[in-house]
Amino acid sequence: MLTTADPAEIPGLLRKTLGHRWDVTIDGNQLQIRHQDRATPYQPPRHSVPWLDLLALLEAAFADQGVPRAACLPLRCGRETELTVSAVQALDPILKDGGTIPYRQGFIPQPVVRLTARRGPDGSLQDGFLTSFVNTSRVEPLPDLETYATAFDRLLTILSRLSLHARHITLRSHLAIWRRRQVEGITLRFDHAGTSLGDLVLLWNAAHPDRHGLDLGTSLERLAWARSRTPWPDLIFGPLSRAAPHDTLDAIRTATLLLAHGITPSAPQRRKHHPPSPPTNPRSHRRLGPEPRDPPIPPLLAQRQSPHHQLAGCSNAGGQPVHLERVR
| Per-residue pLDDT tens listing for the chain (328 residues) | 566 678 889 999 999 999 999 999 999 889 999 999 998 999 999 988 999 999 999 999 999 999 999 999 999 887 888 899 999 999 999 999 989 999 999 999 999 999 888 998 988 899 999 999 999 999 999 998 899 999 999 999 999 999 999 999 999 999 999 999 999 999 999 999 999 999 999 999 999 988 999 999 999 999 999 999 999 999 999 999 999 999 999 999 999 999 998 888 765 544 555 566 655 544 433 333 334 445 455 654 444 444 444 443 343 444 443 333 332 2
Q: For residue 137, which of 104, 163, 113 has the smallest C-alpha distance?
A: 104
Contact by Cβ (8 Å): 257, 296: yes
Contact by Cβ (8 Å): 202, 142: yes
Q: How many residues does the chain have?
A: 328
Q: What is the largest CA-CA distance in the chain?
A: 58
| This model's pTM is above 0.85 | no
* Cα separations in angstroms, 288 against 93, 109, 122, 285, 313: 15, 23, 49, 9, 20
Contact by Cβ (8 Å): 215, 87: yes
Contacting residues for 325 by C-beta, under 8 A, at least 6 apart: 304, 309
* Cα separations in angstroms, 198 against 218, 220, 221, 261, 271: 4, 11, 11, 26, 32
Within 10 angstroms of residue 187's Cβ, the number of other Cβ atoms is 16
DSSP 125: B
CA gap 198, 156 in Å, rounded: 12
